[in-house]
């Protein structure tokens, strides 16, 4: 049957009709999970549910982290939910997260066991690393990422690239300050991270002149806006596909095609001019691995493309949104901004621009970044699947259960964090007396801004660099003016958390220009 592509609103109506008509038949479609596995433990406690659909109505709220947080504060930190008879377990405490991500880490090392619905797509398809099940391909790529692509040696090799990009960012801020023009912080930091990652991956800047940089930014924005549709397609869409209806396939495949053309061009350029020297970029490294007959795993061209799309998505928006939240918190807390500026001036001085090698000497800046990520994690819920049935918190978790770990709730748990909703970077300043407590908090996985266990973020060091340096320069060189008294901190987003009212503020230069710094730089 020919695939039919439907419009989003029509689709929602269709889904509702579909859901209701399924109600009566659902018991025949889905196997009922066992109430216990025969030993002495039961399923986790469950909030009241509706007949047939179970907890589906509780699972549909978007963004979900706050409704989930309410649910767990009322019913407990390990909850058994079901959509029809599909089992889902909601995890909302650091200790339970520890059991899932560490104690039983291997059993929960896969996000989703299903093959992605748009298998052949470069975006969200089956070539990706993020959606790959735990297995040979994932293990091979993970090793490559942490050793060669995002490891300390690679970050050192690409430091100058990021240094140049941060200067361009600084120059733009001085220009805006001279014209008294407001900037959209998220958008400008996105340009910075996007240009830096493109150069780290492809060895050259996507040029603003020929529209390539704009094309990459547009692709990233478009991809992020497709995430929700992809999730709908992956759940309800799976059933519809069986009768020939493909949700959002056309839209996703169009973006995939654009990525494919761009990346094919870059790969060909690299194949024609291979670089074996020390300054080779990520594409050179991957093509080398791809050509290596003795490599443990033979990666394909599409897997290279899939990985780069994920690095672009994983590395740009995360850091841009985080920097935006940090600046919003700093503007709302001038005393913290003042303390941070004093630290930067005492360590970096007043004659040169902050750079990434300064970050390790700026504990308060690090604390500001960690605290903003605690309150505003880019990915507020993490997902895993139980490969086998097991016991968590004394309860039985059936095989194939989807585990939803609410990192937002974990990082605002009042039993762990004092004044959990307050922005207090001091809590991350390690003092000899607090040192062990902080260590404990990390070890028990109460801090999940970069996820946890085997699938934790491999780009966290690079993320800290982007966010730390961008925040550093914005605090070191400028005061910030906003319309009104306070920044509105309302949240929005679906699977990611962003500001409902993107931060727009005007820089007021504290020094003459970037040039007065540059001459003093080492």
Count other Cβ atoms within 10 Å, centred on residue 486.
Answer: 10
Residue window 462-491: x/- pattern of binding to ligand HEM, with contact defined by CB under 6 A: xx---x------------------------
Q: How far is CA 240 from CA 20, 82, 233, 249, in A?
A: 14, 20, 9, 12
Q: Does 354 bind ligand HEM (CB under 6 A)?
A: no
Smallest distance from the beta carbon of 134 to ligand HEM, in angstroms?
9
Q: Does 319 bind ligand HEM (CB under 6 A)?
A: yes
Residue window 138-177: x/- pattern of binding to ligand HEM, with contact defined by CB under 6 A: ----x-------x---------------------------
Smallest CA-to-CA distance from 425 within 330, 302, 291 is with 330
Output 54 or 468, the one with its CB closest to ligand HEM: 468
On the 0-12 / 13-18 / 19+ scale of CB atoms within 10 A, 31 is: exposed
Q: Does 64 bind ligand HEM (CB under 6 A)?
A: no
Q: Does 322 bind ligand HEM (CB under 6 A)?
A: yes
Output 378 or 427, the one with its CB closest to ligand HEM: 378
Q: Does 130 bind ligand HEM (CB under 6 A)?
A: yes
Q: Which stretch binds ligand HEM (CB under 6 A): 53-61, 298-306, 446-454, 484-492?
A: 446-454
Output 44 or 128, the one with its CB closest to ligand HEM: 128
Q: Which of 452, 468, 472, 493 binds ligand HEM (CB under 6 A)?
A: 452
Q: Does 195 bind ligand HEM (CB under 6 A)?
A: no
Q: Does 128 bind ligand HEM (CB under 6 A)?
A: no
Smallest distance from the beta carbon of 462 to ligand HEM, in angstroms?
4
Smallest distance from the beta carbon of 151 to ligand HEM, in angstroms?
12
Q: How far is CA 259 from CA 209, 222, 229, in A?
A: 19, 11, 18
Smallest distance from the beta carbon of 452 to ligand HEM, in angstroms?
5
Output 318 or 401, the one with its CB closest to ligand HEM: 318
Site for ligand HEM in 363-422 (CB under 6 A): 373, 378-379, 382
Smallest CA-to-CA distance from 194 within 283, 311, 284 is with 311
**Coil, strand or helix at 131:** coil
DSSP 195: H
State the residue for tokens 């992956």: 234
Q: Does 311 bind ligand HEM (CB under 6 A)?
A: yes
Work out the end-to-end distance of the chain between its first and last CA atoms, rounded to an integer number of angstroms.
67
Q: Does 116 bind ligand HEM (CB under 6 A)?
A: no
CA 155 – CA 135 distance, rounded (Å): 27
Task: Let me know: does 517 contact 353? Beta carbons within 8 Å.
Answer: yes
CA 405 – CA 96 distance, rounded (Å): 9
Report the relative pairing of strands 402-406 and 86-91 from DSSP bridges. parallel
Beta partners for residue 383, in sequence order: 404
Output 143 or 434, the one with its CB closest to ligand HEM: 143
Output 176 or 191, the one with its CB closest to ligand HEM: 191
Report the relative pairing of strands 491-492 and 498-499 from DSSP bridges. antiparallel
Q: Which stretch binds ligand HEM (CB under 6 A): 215-223, 228-236, 307-315, 511-519?
A: 307-315
Helix, strand, coil tally for the chain in percent (to 5): 55, 10, 35
Q: Does 199 bind ligand HEM (CB under 6 A)?
A: no
Q: Which stretch binds ligand HEM (CB under 6 A): 71-79, 413-421, 450-458, 494-502?
A: 450-458
Smallest distance from the beta carbon of 199 to ligand HEM, in angstroms?
12
CA 453 – CA 455 distance, rounded (Å): 6
Q: In whole angstroms, how large is the CA radius of gyration of the chain? A: 24
State the residue for tokens 């990192």: 407
Q: Where are the beta strands (DSSP E) in 379-492?
A: 381-385, 390-392, 395-397, 402-406, 478-481, 491-492
* 206 is an annotated ligand-binding site residue: no
CA 507 – CA 510 distance, rounded (Å): 9
Task: Let me know: does 213 contact 195? Beta carbons within 8 Å.
Answer: yes
Output 116 or 315, the one with its CB closest to ligand HEM: 315
Output 197 or 240, the one with its CB closest to ligand HEM: 197
Q: Does 451 bind ligand HEM (CB under 6 A)?
A: yes
Q: Does 310 bind ligand HEM (CB under 6 A)?
A: yes
Give the pair of three-digit tokens for residue 272: 């024609």
Which residues define the annotated binding site? Answer: 457
Residue set of the binding site for heme: 457
**By the criterion CB under 6 A, which residues form the site for ligand HEM?**
129-130, 142, 150, 197, 310-311, 314-315, 318-319, 322, 373, 378-379, 382, 449-452, 455-459, 462-463, 467
């Amino acid at each position: 049957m020919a695939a039919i592509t439907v419009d989003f609103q029509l689709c929602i109506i269709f889904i509702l009709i579909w859901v209701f008509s399924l109600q009566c038949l659902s018991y025949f479609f889905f196997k009922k999970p066992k109430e216990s596995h025969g030993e002495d433990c039961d399923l986790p406690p469950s909030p009241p549910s509706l007949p047939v659909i179970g907890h589906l109505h509780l699972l549909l709220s978007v963004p979900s982290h706050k409704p989930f947080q309410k649910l767990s504060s009322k019913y407990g930190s390990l909850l058994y939910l079901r959509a029809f008879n599909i089992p889902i377990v909601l995890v909302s405490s650091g200790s339970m997260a520890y059991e899932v991500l560490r104690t039983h880490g291997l059993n929960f090392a896969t996000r989703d066991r299903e093959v992605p619905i748009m298998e052949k797509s470069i975006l969200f398809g089956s070539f990706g690393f993020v959606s790959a099940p735990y297995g040979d391909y994932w293990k091979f790529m993970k090793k490559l990422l942490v050793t060669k692509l995002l490891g300390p040696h690679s970050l050192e090799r690409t430091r100058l690239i990021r240094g140049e990009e941060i200067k361009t960012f600084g120059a733009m801020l001085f220009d805006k300050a001279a014209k008294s023009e407001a900037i959209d912080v998220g958008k400008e930091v996105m340009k910075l991270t996007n240009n830096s990652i493109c150069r780290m991956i492809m060895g050259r800047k996507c040029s603003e002149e020929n529209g390539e940089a704009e094309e990459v930014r547009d692709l990233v924005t478009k991809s992020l806006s497709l995430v929700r549709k992809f999730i709908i397609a992956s759940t309800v869409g799976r059933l519809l596909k069986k009768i020939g209806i493909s949700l959002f396939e056309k839209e996703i495949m169009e973006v995939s095609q654009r990525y494919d053309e761009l990346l094919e061009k870059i790969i060909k350029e690299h194949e024609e001019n291979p670089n074996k020297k020390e300054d080779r970029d990520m594409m050179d490294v991957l093509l080398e691995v791809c050509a290596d007959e003795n490599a443990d795993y033979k990666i394909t061209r599409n897997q290279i493309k899939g990985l780069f799309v994920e690095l672009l998505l994983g590395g740009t928006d995360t850091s841009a949104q985080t920097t935006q939240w940090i600046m919003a918190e700093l503007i709302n807390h001038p005393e913290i901004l003042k303390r941070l500026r004093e630290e930067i001036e005492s360590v970096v001085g007043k004659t040169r621009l902050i750079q990434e090698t300064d970050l390790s000497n700026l504990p308060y800046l690090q604390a500001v970044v960690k605290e903003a990520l605690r309150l505003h994690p880019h990915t507020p819920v993490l997902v895993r699947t139980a490969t086998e049935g097991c016991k968590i918190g004394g309860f039985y978790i059936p095989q194939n259960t989807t585990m939803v770990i609410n990192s937002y709730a974990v990082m605002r748990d009042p039993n762990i964090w004092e004044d959990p909703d307050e922005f207090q970077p001091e809590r991350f300043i390690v003092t000899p007396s607090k040192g062990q407590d902080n260590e404990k908090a990390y070890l028990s996985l109460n801090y999940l801004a970069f996820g946890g266990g085997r699938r934790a973020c491999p780009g966290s060091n690079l993320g800290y660099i982007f966010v730390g340096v961008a925040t550093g320069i914005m605090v070191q060189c400028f005061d910030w003016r906003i319309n009104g008294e306070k920044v509105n901190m309302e949240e929005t987003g679906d699977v990611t958390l962003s500001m409902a009212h993107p931060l727009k503020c005007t820089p007021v230069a504290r020094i003459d220009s970037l040039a007065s710094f540059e001459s003093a730089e080492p």
